[in-house]
Amino acid sequence: MADTVDVSAHSSSNAGLYLIPVCTLGAVALALVVARVHTRLGRIAKLYLDDWLIIVAEVRLKSLLHVYELMVNPGVFFNRHSNRDCSIFAQLG
């Protein structure tokens, strides 16, 4: 019969050793994320109606220009990649 090894002599529980630092760093990271979101939302709350209209117009214009660009030249999406990417596509094709 094969020799059995006493696992209890070689095992150790390091969970407590790592649990406290990981939880502490996780709490700090969560607090930083909450603070970042709070500061960003604070700036957005101070915008006036004309600021919102400008933002909507810019987003709408960019999306319309992108759609128009794809309608005029459907291959423009693939031309935006570098030559290295195009050579990879050529090798696969």
Q: Looking at the domain assignment, is residue 7 inside a domain? A: no
**Which element (helix H / strand E) includes 18?**
helix 15-45
Helix, coil or strand: residue 92: helix
Q: Looking at the domain assignment, is residue 5 inside a domain? A: no
Q: Looking at the domain assignment, is residue 9 inside a domain? A: no
User: How many whole angstroms from its chain centre is CA 75?
Assistant: 28
Does the pTM surpass 0.85? The reply is: no
One domain for residues 73 and 60: yes
One domain for residues 30 and 67: no
One domain for residues 57 and 42: no
How many domains does the structure of the chain reveal?
2
One domain for residues 53 and 77: yes
Query: Domain range spanning residue 87?
Result: 48-93
Helix, coil or strand: residue 5: coil
pLDDT tens digits along 1-17 = 556 655 565 556 777 78
pLDDT tens digits along 52-87 = 899 899 989 888 887 877 777 766 666 555 555 555
d(CA 68, CA 78): 16
